[in-house]
Amino acid sequence: MSTTSDQSGERFLPLSEPCLQGNEWQYVKECLDSGWISSVGAFVNRFEQRVAEYVGVKHAVATVNGTSALHVALLAAGVEPGDEVLVSTLTFIATANAIRYAGAHPVLIDSEPRWWQMDPQLVRDFLRRECRAENGELRNRVTGRRVRAIMPVHVLGHPVDLPAITAEAEAFGLRLIEDAAESLGASLNWRKIGATSDLACVSFNGNKTITCGGGGMLLTNSQSDAERARYLTTQAKDDAVEYIHNEVGYNYRMTNVLAAIGLAQLEQLDGFVQRRREIAAYYREHLSGCGLTWHTDAPGAVSTSWLSTALVDPLQCGVTACELRDELQRAKIQTRRLWQPMHLSPAHREAGAVLNGTADRLFERALSFPSTPNLTDADLRRVVAATEGVLRSRKRRAA
């Protein structure tokens, strides 16, 4: 595994990896003993029910991964081929890809500079200036396409300004689908992320706040959206006995074995989030004033601090984000830049975009540091010492 020590005895410090120290083995054994290892079983039901209770929604539908949850959420929300969906340009590519799987077109919205989330002002400007109402629908004036939904991403597990974005969605009759892949465990104004919009999707990928190895879940308070999602994720099966399918569906349901792991992980979620937040606070306390500016929480927001991320000022630090990453890699410390924004991605460059330069700046300067909950205090001291060492030597060289 990536955390094993080499001959020098120094452990590789990963960015974010699974911590499997709870009831995972016990629940997987129970699952295997039961013989129910496929996509139906008690663990799937229990996992769905517990995540729904934790977030505070009525329905949950477990899927094979977060991307499939996003795809099906769009379909359940009524997004059709040719529609447009507003989405954060600063995201992992799966969010924009899911819109394309639905045959729809992403409209890429930049981040606000303070918390790095979808900028509500840009959403407002686009909907008010670039769109017009026609026969009870909203259409993009330039493309003529129907605008159907907004899909904000809680980047790095920090809440989007949901009240502002929800107000826009409601004013224009748009469906609101949250990409909460990185934010299971976050809250805004005392409500858990995922509880307040039409649909929300989480991911249980290996690097997320909790993991099943791979998995996802769609959350909603709407019974009809939940039923539609359940139907579409089980091959659109219209008859429990006969092979009758009135539509093209998907084989997207999570297996019982993975749900067993997920259930054990969920029991540890609050502890994991607390530790990720402690790690973020540690870096902020010990690595500030040296040209690194750390991401913090907005008022009323409790982030999962999924990744601890700083902006690297090359003038003050004497290094760019990429150079710092490469130096720390030599010290067996993994750091990562943020994703290439979707408006720069060859896969989505054709999409419409409403930009203010923030995502470009974040792409150039942001660097995420090791954030795995099982990092020890000694590991964190090592990260701080190594980073200070790089910055000191670069400054000496520059002097």
Ligand X SMILES: Cc1ncc(COP(=O)(O)O)c(C=O)c1O
CA angle 44-230-214, nearest 5°? 50
Q: Is 353 in the site for ligand X (CB under 6 A)?
A: no
Exposure b/e, 141-178, CB count within 10 A at least 16 = b? eeeebbbbbbbbbbbbbbbbbbeebbebbeebebbbbb
Q: Which residue in 74, 96, 153, 260 binds ligand X (CB under 6 A)?
A: 153
Whose CB is nearest to ligand X? 66
The tokens describing 66, both together, are 């977060």
Looking at residues 213 to 242 of the shown chain, list those that interact with ligand X (rule: CB under 6 A): 216
Q: Is 91 in the site for ligand X (CB under 6 A)?
A: yes
Q: Is 252 in the site for ligand X (CB under 6 A)?
A: no
Q: Is 211 in the site for ligand X (CB under 6 A)?
A: no
Closest contact distance (angstroms) between CB of 180 and ligand X is: 8
Q: Is 352 in the site for ligand X (CB under 6 A)?
A: no
Binding mask 40-79 for ligand X (x = CB under 6 A): -------------------------xxx------------
Q: How crowded is residue 213: how many other Cβ atoms within 10 Å of its Cβ?
A: 14
Q: Is 120 in the site for ligand X (CB under 6 A)?
A: no
Q: Are 166 and 196 in contact (CB under 8 A)?
A: yes
Q: Is 19 in the site for ligand X (CB under 6 A)?
A: no
- If residue 165 lies in a helix (H) or strand (E), which one and from where to where? helix 162-172
Q: Report the alpha-carbon distance of residue 310 to residue 328 in Å, rounded.
A: 14
Closest contact distance (angstroms) between CB of 158 and ligand X is: 12
- Residue 135, SS3 per DSSP: coil
DSSP letters of 181-244? TT-TT-EETTEETTSSSSEEEEE-BTTSSS-SBS-EEEEES-HHHHHHHHHHHBTT---SSS--
Q: Is 84 in the site for ligand X (CB under 6 A)?
A: no
Closest contact distance (angstroms) between CB of 202 and ligand X is: 8
Binding segment toward ligand X, per CB under 6 A, in 37-45, 90-98, 165-173, 268-276 = 90-98
Closest contact distance (angstroms) between CB of 203 and ligand X is: 3
Exposure b/e, 111-122, CB count within 10 A at least 16 = b? bbeebbbbbbeb
Q: Report the alpha-carbon distance of residue 314 to residue 310 in Å, rounded.
A: 12
Q: Are 294 and 303 in contact (CB under 8 A)?
A: no
Closest contact distance (angstroms) between CB of 67 and ligand X is: 3
Identity of the residue, 95 or 187, whose beta carbon is nearer to ligand X in the bound complex:
95
Closest contact distance (angstroms) between CB of 170 and ligand X is: 24
Q: Is 181 in the site for ligand X (CB under 6 A)?
A: yes
Q: Is 89 in the site for ligand X (CB under 6 A)?
A: no
- 239 CB-contact burial (10 Å; exposed 0-12 / middle 13-18 / buried 19+): exposed
Q: Is 159 in the site for ligand X (CB under 6 A)?
A: no
Q: Per DSSP, what are the bridge partners of residue 217?
A: 62, 202
Binding mask 188-207 for ligand X (x = CB under 6 A): ---------------x-x--
Identity of the residue, 72 or 311, whose beta carbon is nearer to ligand X in the bound complex:
72
The tokens describing 284, both together, are 């902020």
Edge-to-edge strand list for the sheet holding 199-203 = 59-63, 216-220, 199-203, 175-179, 147-151, 84-88, 105-109, 352-354
Q: Is 39 in the site for ligand X (CB under 6 A)?
A: no
Identity of the residue, 91 or 166, whose beta carbon is nearer to ligand X in the bound complex:
91
Q: Which residue in 51, 52, 87, 94 binds ligand X (CB under 6 A)?
A: 94
CA angle 184-172-200, nearest 5°? 15
Identity of the residue, 88 or 387, whose beta carbon is nearer to ligand X in the bound complex:
88
Size of the site for ligand X (CB under 6 A): 14
Identity of the residue, 205 or 309, whose beta carbon is nearer to ligand X in the bound complex:
205
Q: Is 308 in the site for ligand X (CB under 6 A)?
A: no
Binding site for ligand X (CB under 6 A): 65-67, 91-92, 94-95, 153, 179, 181-182, 203, 205, 216
